[in-house]
Structures are given as C-alpha cells and as structure tokens.
Amino acid sequence: MSDAGAPVSLADYEARARETLDANAWAYFAGGAADEITLAANRAAWAASWLQPRVLRASAQGHTRVELLGRTLAHPILVAPMAFQRLAHESGELGVALAAAAQGAGMVLSAQASVPLEQVARLVRPEPARGPLWFQLYLQGERGFDLELVRRAEAAGYEALVLTVDAPVHGARDRERRAGFRLPPDVAAVNLAAAPTSARGGELCGGLLASAPSWDDVAWLRAQTKLPLVLKGVLHPEDAKLAHAHGADALIVSNHGGRTLDTALPTAWALPRIADALAGVSGAALPLLVDGGIRRGTDVLKAIALGARAVLVGRPIAFALAAAGPQGVAHALRLLRDELEIAMALAGVATLADVPRELLFEASKSSLGAPWERPR
C-alpha cells in the first residue's frame, strides 16, 4: 500500500469497504438490530466523554503493555470474534489472524468462522510476537457437541474460551432482511457443521429458547476445561457478579455491536458501572474488556480509564479486510495503536496502569454539551 491516498483512519477503511463489498456483505458487516439505535449509540458514547489531559508529566519510560490472563500483551487491542470473514475477503480468518499476529494483537476466532479452527491456530501459533489466541463459543444445547468443540480448541492450542452469552437468538436485523442476506455457497460456519438441530419447546421465539444457555451451563463449562473462561456480552452489574461467582476469569462488556437487542445501553456507559460493582465484591478482581464503537486511539484510552484492561475491535477489521486484505488489517491495527500512543503522550500518562478515571470529564458537566449538540 503506497502512502499516497492511503487510509489514515479506521473511518477511511469503512468508506473504502462500502465501495468494495456487495449489498449482501455490506448489510451483514455494517448493519445492526432494528433501528440501529444501539449501533449508533456505541460510537456516540465514546465521543461524549471528554479528556482532561495533564501536562509536563514524565513519560520517557512509557509503554502500552498490559497483563491479561497470564500474558504480557504489547498493547491492549484484540480482534473481536466475527463470523464469516470470507464474506469480506478470500483470505478470511486466516488473513486476519496473520495480520493480527504481525501487529502483536490478540485474536478471538468466532465459532462461526469460515475456516477450520485448527488451520488458524497452526498458522499463527509459531509467531513469537503474536497476541493471545482465543476461541469463541456459542453453546449449541447439546453438551456432547459443545464438549467436543472445547476439546478441539484445547488441542489446537487456543489459550482461552470466550463464551458469548447475549445472543440466545438473533436480533431483528432489518438491514439484512431488506438486502435479502444469504451466505454464498462457498462460505459456511465450518466448525459447526455437525452441530445439533435446536430443540423445540415453549412459545417464545418458536421454541428456540428451550436450548438457550443458563448459569448452570456456565458452571458446567467451567468444570470441563482448565482454559481461562471469558464471558462476552455482559451489560448489567449483577450479571458481572454472577459471572464471578460461576468461575469466569474475565468479562467482555459488550452489546454484540448493536446486533442483538436494539436500545441496549452503549458499552461505554455499562463499563464503569460494572467496574465499580466488581470493586465492591471481595476477591472479584476480574479483568474487564470492552467492545462496541471503538474507532480511535482516544476511545481505547477512555476505555482503560473506565476500568477496561483491553478492548476488542470488530467491524473496522472487517472493513479493512474488505478494502485491502490482510495488509489492510495490519495497517488498521497499527493506526489504532499509534493513535493510542499519541493520546497517552498528549494526555500525560506514561503507562496504561497510570490511567485514572479522572482523566475523563463527563460531557454532562460541561456547558459545551456533547459533540453532536454543539453549534456547527
């Protein structure tokens, strides 16, 4: 990629992806649930937090390293689990995994990946500077199949399991329905090919909730594996406490990128409430991660200030993959890390462990108002 005309922000990649993807794939990657209120609010909530930088602070020994689940990460940016990445580019999850490894970013492989989980692990595990490699699970309602998938992930060398808990059914994705979304014949959730057909029973959602996971399933999964167990999709402080009680090793504060329950609160609002709730529970030192609307290095810094140990980025990675393949993904991750370093330097924080909650000045306390409310 030459410098002339190259993307300089994640938004640039989104614009290029819009020109590259067909209507079917664009609806899938860009869309959210229903009126897409939560989808928009995720981004707006980060923008509504103002930074109060400190000046003349010593930062010569600064760095972006963080400790997470027994590993030292070069920086706190991970690739979120996203299904069917071969919709965006022929290299799919393999290209994203290589790009993430090249940038020292962690990757969470979706259970609905369009390539075998073993193939991704073989490709990137030998990379010495890669970030952590985690595997996402959706419990399928049949413990024999679920346990087989866990054992495959363990044998392949994945370092943690990420159980998504906020999507027992699909959201009402109007944009996908308007586009008549269909997977092309050569793209499928290959790791779930032998998954059981969901049981039917009850009235809600055509009986699909009969096989929806519960806290008992979390406890069962915790007992089946020695891998760290991360719960993804927690927004309520009481659920965060229950996750701790059921043996979770970390939590991802997430509303599924606005793709499930529309008008669910934005993650930037949920994160500090969960952090505060867990701070009041003895022994509940759960690392928190967050996703949803992260587009700038300043967003990453704000997430750390609000209690996150790391962030996950989803749609921008799919857009970069569509626009420029694996090279675009690597460049997008580098842009985000560079912006984080710039934000740290200008905010007067040398390390992420030094980021205080007081770095943020809430828009509601300012006569300037939120960015979208100011006169133009």
Give the distance from CA 210 to its chain's centroid.
Answer: 27
Give Cα separations from 43 to 143, 149, 271, 292, 376 (angstroms).
37, 34, 14, 7, 19
> How does DSSP classify residue 361?
E
Length of the chain: 376
Contact indicator for 227, 158 with CB cutoff of 8 Å: yes
Query: How many whole angstroms separate alpha carbon 172 and alpha carbon 195?
Result: 23
Q: Which residues of 97-110 are buried (b: 16+ CB within 10 A; e: fewer)?
A: bbbbbbbbbbbbbb
Cα dihedral 180/181/184/189 (nearest 10): -150
Query: How many whole angstroms separate alpha carbon 57 and alpha carbon 349?
Result: 7
> What token pair was written down for 200?
């039917």
* DSSP H stretches of helix in 83-236: 92-102, 117-124, 143-156, 174-179, 215-224
Catalytic residue among 75, 244, 256, 331: 256
170 catalytic per annotation: no
Cite the active site residues: 256
